[in-house]
Amino acid sequence: MARRRQLYEGKAKILFEGPEPGTLVQYFKDDATAFNAQKKGTITGKGVLNNRISEFLMQRIAEIGVPTHFIRRLNMREQLIREVEIIPIEVVVRNIAAGSLSTRLGIAEGTRLPRSIIEYYYKNDALGDPMVAEEHVAAFGWASAQDMDDIVHMTLRINDFLTGLFLGVGISLVDFKVEFGRLWEGEEMRIVLADEISPDNCRLWDTKTNEKMDKDRFRRDLGKVEEAYQEVAMRLGILPEAGARDLKGPEVMQ
Ligand code: TMP
């Protein structure tokens, strides 16, 4: 197989040059990190599951009219995506208090918030992705007022939609993180959903037992991490054909 040019390696994914201009191949690794990569590990089969889960969620989100970078899944660990210019902001939506919000404001985990809250974090590993206000985003030119309008509008629609989708399979969407990118089509630019949506960047709790079914199992050493990701895929009806047996998938080709 021809060697492909690797463009970027992140903590959980690798981006390769795509087969046509304007496309990229997104490869999902089993690597997991937490606390700005101070904690490192592997979650066997995570890449295969997140590839599937993100494919499924991006397709459903596109169906409600929110544009995404996703084109199609290529194999167990790879998907073809549109090349976008990533906006350097992590957009976090919270429905129920947990994680850093609970720590920062002293609100017990599990407290339902009076309304959904959107927060912004500046994507910068060296700084540990600090929280920023919309004022910083505007002042430093990371995104325009129009971009931010689009981002907030799309994020709220995604939250409403995913909350219902997960509730239907017995899962509470506690919070999640999304990223957006600028897609250029000639002179025209539009903002699209990028990156991934998976148990790596959502908090998902079983509605009956409140059991955690996401990366907090890894962050907090709760055990049964692989099983939790599999359970999410199973409830969404998208476990790979071979089932839980076949989660290793092909090795990365370079
Ligand atoms: P937090 O409570 O740690 O701020 O996390 C909020 C949500 O954002 C949670 O669903 C996990 C997700 N998240 C990421 O996807 N990447 C990150 O680097 C962090 C810190 C959180």
Q: What is the pLDDT of residues 64-88, one digit of tens each?
A: 999 999 999 999 999 999 999 999 9
- For the chain, domains (ranges, CATH) are 4-84+220-243 (3.30.200.20), 86-206 (3.30.470.20)
Q: What residue owns the CA closest to ligand 1's atom 15?
A: 201
Residue 146 confidence (pLDDT): 97
Neighbouring-strand partners of residue 171: 206
Three-state DSSP class for residue 87: coil
Residue type, position 75, single letter: N
Q: What residue owns the CA closest to ligand 1's atom 20?
A: 35
Three-state DSSP class for residue 47: helix
Q: How far apart are CA 39 and CA 28, in angstroms?
A: 19
Q: Which of 54, 129, 175 to mutate to test the pocket of ligand 1 (most atoms within 8 A of CB)?
A: 175
Specify the residue for token string 């002293």.
106
Ligand 1 midpoint to CA 201 (Å): 6
Q: What residue owns the CA closest to ligand 1's atom 7?
A: 176
The percent of residues above 90 in pLDDT, for the chain, comes to 91
Ligand 1 midpoint to CA 204 (Å): 12
**Cα 121–125–127 angle (5° rounding)?**
70
Indicate if the pLDDT at residue 112 is higher than 80.
yes
**Which residues, 6 or more positions from 161, have their beta carbon under 8 angstroms from its beta carbon?**
60, 61, 64
